[in-house]
A and B are shown apart, each in its own frame.
Chain A
Amino acid sequence: MSFWKQIKPTFLNYPAQGKETERLPFNVRRIWLFTVCLISLVSIGPLVSLAIFDYTVTKNDTEKEIHLRMEGLVDHIAGTVSFFLEEKKAALSYIVYANSFSDLNNKERLAYILEGLQRSTGGFIDLGLIDSSGKQLQYVGPYDLEGKNYRNKDWCKKVRASEDGIFISEVFLGYRNVPHHIIAVRQDLPDGPCYILRATMDTGKFNTLLSLMKIDKTGDSFLINHQGILQTPTLIHGVAMDSIKLTIPKDADEPRVYEEVCEHGDTLVIGLEYIANSPYILMILQEKKDLMKVWLKTRWIILGILLGGILIMLFVIIHVASYLINIICNESRKTMLVLSEVEHSSKMASIGRLAAGVSHEINNPLAIINEKAGLMKDLFEFKDEYSSDPKLIGLIDSVLSSVERCAGITKRLLSFSRNLDVSIQRVNISAVIEDVLGFLHKEAEYRSITVHVDVAEDVPNFDTDRGKLQQILVNLTNNAFAAVEDEGHLDIIARRQDEKTITIKVRDDGCGIAQKNIKRIFDPFFSTKTESGGTGLGLSIIYGLALELGGKIEVESTEGMGTTFSVLLPIEKGEDEKSPTDERSWDYSEPIS
């Protein structure tokens, strides 16, 4: 939460409804959202596209590389297996070529040959000599197979039928009921009949050969026949003679690599090659996820960097957008405030001009009445014939006192209009308070509000802008009137606080200000009276005026008990304190005629 507070744009704190947002010349929330979305799109969009592109390309490359490696491996192992078989075939072919039937029909000789084979090429378990009728004439090896008849065995028929006279069998059970492979070589005798030299291949050696040729620990490599029957044991795909549950492409002269989903749901990468001149197909399997392990690791790193990057970018984008829009927003609010102040001031100036005009026009006829009545009174006083009539003197005095009252009104109006000018003069606080109450005493009378003015004797006359001071006090008094009930109390107290400061307190026993609002009451546009037409500018303007006068306004309030506003003003206004006033003030003092 605190992190969000850090980057949260402050304009979101402003109420969504109300005068200020209505008056903002643009919708900041929408601009903020638009800015954030747009910048995010143009910066994060390409990054994500690049990441996706890179992801796809590296994935394809890795797959291609895996396939190539698999293809190479398959080719290599197929070559090795093929060489192994060719070697065995060549050895047997040589034996039948180099030895006559009678040599081979000699058990000792045959045993000698087997030993020779095992010592040289290796990979043979036994040897048997079979005549044309299929009967095993001689047998050397660890099993008891002598005299067995193979006439009806499949391999026997095939070797007799084969053109080149050499046959490599698929795995089969045979008499021993143990899966094994044999190689049989047929030798045709010149006089017609033939004989067959049969050898059992050492499957262990075969299996070792295949098990060495693996890509990975989890990989599997084995031989199958063209029907998909396993010829060698496997790690997880069954034992020899089992049927493999994978598709086998039919016409693969070249090594083939393809992918297939196995029954466990894992994708397997399969390398396959038909081994020439044999019934075998070499098959190498590997789970794809094992092969892609390195790439998968890279993928997480890329994803991590991408997400991290996006988060950082979003943070920066939101932060920058908030910062800039805050500036715009604040500037715009300042402008609005200035405009409002100008509006307010020009309104005051208009009223001032009107008041001045009216006073001026009324003052002349008043002066005439004054002079005429004055002359009449003079005549009564100076000439004896009228002096005996006290009633007439009373009438004249009443006319003159009315003139004086009117003159008081015009004087106040004039002083109000004059106060719109910026002018520092020596003022008497009692006089200012009197002027202020002059404007408001009627309301006080109607509402039976008791106004008590208490100016201490040690409060000196001091240099300030009378009009601004008056405006401050009128505003505070007005606010106090608004806060108190009928028959409420209002105290205006002036005291000398110290050598340099005087304090004017405006204290009421009205409704008070809620604690949560007290910090905001001087904020521009803050108003609890918006419904009844409050602009929320009054206190903010007079706060500004107090600052211009080199002073300040403080507030204390207890809800339900009342409020005290204290205006602190310097007794002597220094030159340096004038500067903010002069920069900001507008001159409404165009000649009034």
Chain B
Amino acid sequence: MKVLLVDDEKDIVSTLAERLSLRGIEATWVTSGEEALNLLKTETFDLAILDVKMPSMNGLELQKKMNENHRELKCLFLTSRGAEEASEPGAQLTGQENYLSKPIKIEELIKKMNEALKS
């Protein structure tokens, strides 16, 4: 499983990526939407985990842009404000269940990731 992590908080994504790696999941991290889009030009991922709130381009916009070229790419969202952020109009497209509130539990994240890939 190849996962792309996008969050403007480097401490969070880098650590999270390392924790996923320890569990045998190949995780690449970037700290902005633009970097993520650049990376997608050269690499493919099974799943993207996006922070909803990021400067310049938020998670929802990023998901839209990524889906333009990579329709098959599944997305999970991380929010620091709970359900409300993930239930904004744009997020409805991906359903209400594909978000996690920070701070996350790694077990929950992996469970959600598996669910997202199955669907």
Whether the Cβ atoms of A372 and B9 lie closer than 8 Å is: no
What's the nearest-Cβ distance from chain A to residue B29, in Å?
11
Q: Which one of A364, A372, A378, A411 lies within 8 Å of B82 (CB-CB)?
A: A411
For A368, list chain B residues within 8 Å (CB). 9, 11-12, 15
For B16, list chain A residues within 8 Å (CB). 371
Give the residue name and chain of the A residue nearest to B15 (CB).
A371
For B12, list chain A residues within 8 Å (CB). 364, 367-368, 371
For A375, list chain B residues within 8 Å (CB). 15, 18-19, 22
- A366 to B102 CA separation, bound complex (whole angstroms): 8
What's the nearest-Cβ distance from chain A to residue B80, in Å?
4
The interface bits of chain A over 404-420 (1 if a CB of B lies within 8 angstroms of the residue's CB, else 0) are 10010001001100100
What's the nearest-Cβ distance from chain B to residue A328, in Å?
43
Give the residue name and chain of the A residue nearest to B103 (CB).
A370
- A453 to B104 CA separation, bound complex (whole angstroms): 29
Please choose the segment from A137-145, A355-363, A488-496 that sits at the chain B interface, where 4 or more of its residues have CB less than 8 A away.
A355-363
- A356 to B11 CA separation, bound complex (whole angstroms): 23
Q: Which one of A364, A374, A418 lies within 8 Å of B80 (CB-CB)?
A: A364
- A403 to B103 CA separation, bound complex (whole angstroms): 8
The interface bits of chain B over 68-84 (1 if a CB of A lies within 8 angstroms of the residue's CB, else 0) are 00000000000011111
Whether the Cβ atoms of B84 and A363 lie closer than 8 Å is: no
Whether the Cβ atoms of B80 and A372 lie closer than 8 Å is: no
- A363 to B81 CA separation, bound complex (whole angstroms): 8
For A366, list chain B residues within 8 Å (CB). 102-103
What's the nearest-Cβ distance from chain B to residue A579, in Å?
24
Whether the Cβ atoms of B101 and A364 lie closer than 8 Å is: no
Whether the Cβ atoms of B81 and A414 lie closer than 8 Å is: yes
Max count, chain A CB within 10 A of own CB: residue among B16, B22, B84, B101: B84
What's the nearest-Cβ distance from chain A to residue B105, in Å?
8
What's the nearest-Cβ distance from chain A to residue B115, in Å?
20
Whether the Cβ atoms of B84 and A418 lie closer than 8 Å is: yes
For B9, list chain A residues within 8 Å (CB). 364, 367-368
Q: In residues 1-20 of chain B, which contact A (Cβ within 8 Å)?
A: 9, 11-12, 15-16, 18-19
Max count, chain A CB within 10 A of own CB: residue among B81, B83, B103: B103
A12 close to B (CB within 8 Å)? no
Give the residue name and chain of the A residue nearest to B10 (CB).
A368
Whether the Cβ atoms of A363 and B15 lie closer than 8 Å is: no
What's the nearest-Cβ distance from chain B to residue A27, in Å?
47
Q: In residues 49-82 of chain B, which contact A (Cβ within 8 Å)?
A: 80-82
- A415 to B82 CA separation, bound complex (whole angstroms): 8
Whether the Cβ atoms of B102 and A418 lie closer than 8 Å is: no
Whether the Cβ atoms of B84 and A369 lie closer than 8 Å is: no
Using A414-B81, A418-B84 as known contacts, say yes or no to A372 and B11 having CB atoms under 8 A apart: yes
- In this complex, how many residues of chain B approach chain A with their Cβ under 8 Å: the count is 19
What's the nearest-Cβ distance from chain B to residue A15, in Å?
44
- A378 to B106 CA separation, bound complex (whole angstroms): 10
For A360, list chain B residues within 8 Å (CB). 80-81
For B104, list chain A residues within 8 Å (CB). 367, 370
A382 close to B (CB within 8 Å)? yes
- A82 to B11 CA separation, bound complex (whole angstroms): 144
Using A372-B15, A375-B19, A378-B19 as known contacts, say yes or no to A364 and B102 having CB atoms under 8 A apart: yes
For A382, list chain B residues within 8 Å (CB). 22
Whether the Cβ atoms of A367 and B19 lie closer than 8 Å is: no
What's the nearest-Cβ distance from chain A to residue B97, in Å?
14
A90 close to B (CB within 8 Å)? no
- A359 to B85 CA separation, bound complex (whole angstroms): 13
For B83, list chain A residues within 8 Å (CB). 418
Q: Which one of A356, A363, A379, A418 lies within 8 Å of B103 (CB-CB)?
A: A363
Give the residue name and chain of the A residue nearest to B82 (CB).
A414
What's the nearest-Cβ distance from chain A to residue B89, in Å?
12
For A404, list chain B residues within 8 Å (CB). 103
Whether the Cβ atoms of B101 and A411 lie closer than 8 Å is: yes
For B11, list chain A residues within 8 Å (CB). 368, 371-372
Whether the Cβ atoms of A369 and B103 lie closer than 8 Å is: yes
For B23, list chain A residues within 8 Å (CB). 378
- A382 to B82 CA separation, bound complex (whole angstroms): 31
Give the residue name and chain of the B residue nearest to A425 (CB).
B83
For A379, list chain B residues within 8 Å (CB). 22
Give the residue name and chain of the B residue nearest to A415 (CB).
B82
Whether the Cβ atoms of A367 and B82 lie closer than 8 Å is: no
Whether the Cβ atoms of B102 and A359 lie closer than 8 Å is: no
- A404 to B106 CA separation, bound complex (whole angstroms): 13
What's the nearest-Cβ distance from chain B to residue A374, in Å?
6
What's the nearest-Cβ distance from chain B to residue A281, in Å?
118
Max count, chain B CB within 10 A of own CB: residue among A372, A414, A415: A414
- A150 to B51 CA separation, bound complex (whole angstroms): 156
Q: In residues 340-365 of chain A, which contact B (Cβ within 8 Å)?
A: 356, 359-360, 363-364
7 further contact pairs, Cβ within 8 A, besides A368-B11, A414-B84, A592-B81:
A363-B81, A364-B9, A364-B80, A364-B102, A371-B16, A371-B103, A372-B15
Interface pairs (24), CB distance under 8 Å: A359-B80, A360-B81, A364-B12, A366-B103, A367-B9, A367-B102, A367-B103, A367-B104, A370-B103, A371-B12, A371-B15, A371-B16, A378-B19, A378-B106, A379-B22, A403-B103, A407-B103, A411-B82, A411-B101, A414-B84, A418-B82, A418-B83, A418-B84, A592-B81
